[in-house]
Every structure is written in C-alpha cells, then in structure tokens.
Amino acid sequence: MTKYIVLGRFQPFHMGHQYLVKSAFELVGENDQLTIVIGSEQAGWEPENPWTAEERKSMIEDWAEVANISAEVVSVEDINDPPNWVNHATKTHGEGVLVTTDGPTAELYRNAGFEVHTPEMMQREEFEGWRVRQTAKMLSTVYDDEAVREVLKASLPQPIIEWLIEHDGLFRLSTFETGVHAG
C-alpha cells in the first residue's frame, strides 16, 4: 500500500487545491490511500486563517463526497520550524509520497527521503489563497446567494461555495480589520 499525501492550509479549499487533490487521486491504486493534511491546525478566526481546522476538514469532506474521492483528512499544528517540519508532520500523516506543486515543500520532503510527485502547476497566481480570501471578503456582506455563487465559481469548487453559504462562512471575513481606512 502506498499513501499519497497532499498538504495545505486550505483557507479555503479552492480550485488549485481541487486540481492538486484530483492529481493525487489519479495516482491512487486499489490498495493505496489518499491523505489530505490540513496545516496550521491551531490557526483560525484570523485574517490569514479565517476558518478553523475543523471547519476546513468539514469543507474538504463535503467536497470529497461530491467529487467521489475517498480520502483520510487529518490536521497538523504548524511549528514554524522548516528544518523539523517533515519529522513533525510525518507523526500525523505517516510515510508515503508527497504530491505538491510547492517548491520549498517538495525540497523539504525530498531532503527527508520522501518520494515527491509534482503535477504541473495550474493557474497558481490566480488561485493564491490571499486572492481567493480577498474575493470572498468582498462578498462577505452580499446577501444574494446567487451573486455569491456566480462570483466565487471561478475560484472555488461548488461544494465549498455551498459550505460557506450554509455555514455563514463568508460573514466572518467582514469582521476582520484590513488596516486600510477611507478618509
């Protein structure tokens, strides 16, 4: 059995993440396992990390069910110590093949002896987490669910949009101070 591992903060789970997880899932054989690892487990309810690990897990599980992807979803606390990160994270996700499009993460795992699969990057700049969060923040006080769906469909999978609407997950973004004041 081979375990394929996908890491991310998933703040929120966006189209780039969907591409990465689907790329990993294509590698999974009959006796293999896909593990999605939510990083920064301790983070939540802050501008860069608006959703808690449990909320992100719920989003991903809802998406995976609709996408018909079987995956174990776990989370790991960030220790902010790259040289020791792989050893720390491995205690949670175990040994396997890392699937990533992130160069520094790939290097860390290769240096630790992991096999690393790197799918071709897809629209990385467009799907940067901060861009997706800013778009969602602009919609955080829009009370027209159809308008929210229409705008977010370019960057978020439909099950994630529905999760955000159903769990009032966008409103939280309107409560964060931007540091920029008009006038």
Domain residue extents for the chain: 3-117, 129-175
157 upstream amide cis, omega within 30 of 0: no
Q: How confident is the model at residue 94 (pLDDT cuts 50, 70, 90)?
A: very high
This prediction has a pTM of 0.90
Q: Give the C-alpha separation, 150 to 26, whole Å.
A: 29
Q: Is the pLDDT of residue 7 over 60?
A: yes
* Length of the chain as a residue count: 183
Model pLDDT, residue 176: 67
- 3-117: in CATH 3.40.50.2000: no
Helix axes 158-166, 145-152, angle to 10 degrees: 150
Model pLDDT, residue 143: 86
> In sequence order, what E strands does the chain have?
3-8, 33-38, 72-75, 97-99, 115-117
Model pLDDT, residue 132: 80
Mean pLDDT of 144-170: 93
Element (H, E) at 34: strand 33-38
Model pLDDT, residue 180: 43
Model pLDDT, residue 171: 82
Model pLDDT, residue 182: 41
Cα atoms in the 13 Å half-sphere on the side-chain side of 95: 5
Model pLDDT, residue 11: 92
Share of the chain above pLDDT 70, in %: 91
Q: How confident is the model at residue 137 (pLDDT cuts 50, 70, 90)?
A: confident
